[in-house]
Amino acid sequence: METHIRNSFDKQGLMATLSARIDSIDPGRVVISAPIVPQTSQQHGFAHAGLTFALGDSAAGYSALTTMAEGSDVLTAEMKINLIAPADGTRLVATGEVIKPGRRLVITRANVETEYADGRRKLVAVLQGTMVPV
Amino acid sequence: METHIRNSFDKQGLMATLSARIDSIDPGRVVISAPIVPQTSQQHGFAHAGLTFALGDSAAGYSALTTMAEGSDVLTAEMKINLIAPADGTRLVATGEVIKPGRRLVITRANVETEYADGRRKLVAVLQGTMVPV
Amino acid sequence: METHIRNSFDKQGLMATLSARIDSIDPGRVVISAPIVPQTSQQHGFAHAGLTFALGDSAAGYSALTTMAEGSDVLTAEMKINLIAPADGTRLVATGEVIKPGRRLVITRANVETEYADGRRKLVAVLQGTMVPV
Amino acid sequence: METHIRNSFDKQGLMATLSARIDSIDPGRVVISAPIVPQTSQQHGFAHAGLTFALGDSAAGYSALTTMAEGSDVLTAEMKINLIAPADGTRLVATGEVIKPGRRLVITRANVETEYADGRRKLVAVLQGTMVPV
């Protein structure tokens, strides 16, 4: 499954454009991170909500994929994000988890933290949404 | 207000990275679009949900900004996206609108359509969320 | 289909408890309303968010059912509600609509208005969510 | 604060209509439950999504209130619910928690479980949303 997920990830042009990488893959739990750089910022130099969403959604989606049959693929049906603090660090780290696996719908959530240069982390966003196998 | 919005948009590194542009600015309504290219794709070559979200969220946010006092800035507090069809065209067009202006919270929505080479369009996502003035 | 929907509605104990009624059923569009009374209020005497949600969700769900095969049933997979004004009138009117029909997922939305004694209406909530046929 | 919350709860007509009660109040965490009875069912005799939402939303709202200044009141700005299993037990138990307190926005979540006659519990819904002090 890990190879399948890494192959899928490598085909996502946006993840490469965002310099995102997979940090870990475990059953029902995937961590994806990316640097906060001028190319992915909003108007104040913080990480753009689009980056935060993209990482959180991808981590949630791949966490769902770890619960599906080998060879499956996954699409986001819907996702809700609450942005709770400015992403003013140097790196965004998204942890996706499966709340409830299922054959037709997989319910997921993700936390996105910003990491500062000194290694401290702060929660910047929480996501909750539905993945569908295809 | 239009100058203020265009200046803010030009400071968003992610919008440049996504080759996004503002197509129109009207009171309570802003249109933003970007090409669907390999650099912003998901694993099947369609537009990545992160791109769809980023355009829809930005269009919604700037539509909210058109209803605020000159000099204001806006942050997304929360946003929900339903992805309803694959974004298999050549360009994504996001139309943000204000459902309810307000001093503390502005309720917005956005439609994101994919545009095909022949000019036809198809709805690919709907967003609904809350903007806060800062 | 109208008979099927009315039979389903009549089996919902909560709808009777809320004194809710179906006002109209059209393809892809269902209107449900209920009085704002002390039994369904929140702490300030306005309609409780739970009532607003219940009506909006039911209107959205039955609007989805109008697009499904005869004999189908429908469940809410997920629903997002933005509450945008106090529901201080005498009656809540929820209009559910289908954004995108589908075999596996039906994307819906609903507007909930409060109606005053003089017939004026005010938008109090917007909902967006996913229904699944069962 | 506990007295303030119980007084507010007792003024909510809908909570009495649903036979809901507060099970516990702790800083950042409130539990509310109600029986699953024909008066609050959907068409299959399970708990109606409106009941599930009302309990989850109230538990989340009061958990937010525990983090606010004495005398405050709280409104739901928006709430997202994912319904993940049929609520086929005898009682619904909603646990609301604060993800992030704040002066202007409080981010909350809630889990709703159904309890069977033998005491077993099953997760039936997860909620995530924003409360505002008023």
* Sequential DSSP letters for D17-69: HTT-EEEEEETTEEEEEEE--GGGB-TTSSBPHHHHHHHHHHHHHHHHHTTSP
A34-65 per-position pLDDT tens digit: 999 999 998 888 999 999 999 999 999 999 99
Provide the token pair at D100.
Answer: 């992030």
- Cβ pair A130:C80 closer than 8 A: no
For chain B, list the contacting chains (3+ Cβ pairs, <8 Å). A, C, D
- Cβ pair C130:A132 closer than 8 A: no
Nearest-by-Cβ selection for B128 from C85, C123, C126: C126
* Mean pLDDT for chain A overall: 96
Can you tell me the ipTM of this complex?
0.96
Domain span at residue D129?
A: 2-133
Helix (H, G, I), strand (E, B) or coil at D90: coil
Query: Which residue, among B76, B38, B74, B40, has the nearest Cα to B57 in the 3D structure?
Result: B76
- Cβ pair C40:D48 closer than 8 A: no
For chain C, list the contacting chains (3+ Cβ pairs, <8 Å). A, B, D
D69 or A82: which leads in pLDDT: A82
d(CA C77, CA A107): 10
* Mean pLDDT for chain B overall: 96
Nearest-by-Cβ selection for C77 from D43, D44, D83: D83
Q: Which residue of B has its CA nearest to D105?
A: B77
pLDDT value at residue D133: 94
**What are the residues of chain D with a beta carbon less than 8 Å away from any beta carbon of chain A?**
80, 82, 84-85, 99-100, 102, 107, 109, 123, 126, 128-130
Q: pTM (2 decimals)?
A: 0.97
- Is B69 within 8 Å of B60 (Cβ atoms)? no
Domain at C86, CATH number: 3.10.129.10
pLDDT value at residue B18: 97
- The percent of residues above 90 in pLDDT, for chain A, comes to 93
Q: In what order do the strands lie in the sheet with C29-35?
A: C21-26, C29-35, C91-100, C106-115, C121-133, C74-83, D74-83, D121-133, D106-115, D91-100, D29-35, D21-26
- Is D83 within 8 Å of D125 (Cβ atoms)? yes
Count how many domains chain D has.
1
Q: Is the pLDDT of residue D121 over 90?
A: yes
At D83, which amino acid appears?
L
- Is B57 within 8 Å of B129 (Cβ atoms)? yes
Provide the token pair at C115.
Answer: 């109606």
Provide the token pair at D39.
Answer: 């008066």
- What residue has token string 């992403």? A87
Nearest-by-Cβ selection for C128 from B85, B100, B126: B126
Nearest-by-Cβ selection for B100 from C80, C84, C102: C84
- The percent of residues above 90 in pLDDT, for chain B, comes to 93
Q: Work out the pLDDT band at B85, boundaries 50, 70, 90.
A: very high
d(CA A65, CA B110): 28
Using CA atoms of C13, C14, C16, C20 in order, give the dihedral in degrees to the nearest 10: -140
Our CA angle for C109, C114, C120, nearest 5°, is: 120
- Cβ pair C49:D16 closer than 8 A: no
- Cβ pair B81:A77 closer than 8 A: no
Q: Is the pLDDT of residue A28 over 90?
A: yes
Q: Measured between alpha carbons, how far is residue B2 from residues B25, B70, B132, C111, D37 in Å?
A: 7, 10, 19, 30, 56
pLDDT value at residue C71: 84
- In this structure, are strands A121-133 and B21-26 parallel, antiparallel, or unpaired? unpaired
C66-123 per-position pLDDT tens digit: 999 888 999 999 999 999 999 999 999 999 999 999 999 999 999 999 999 999 999 9
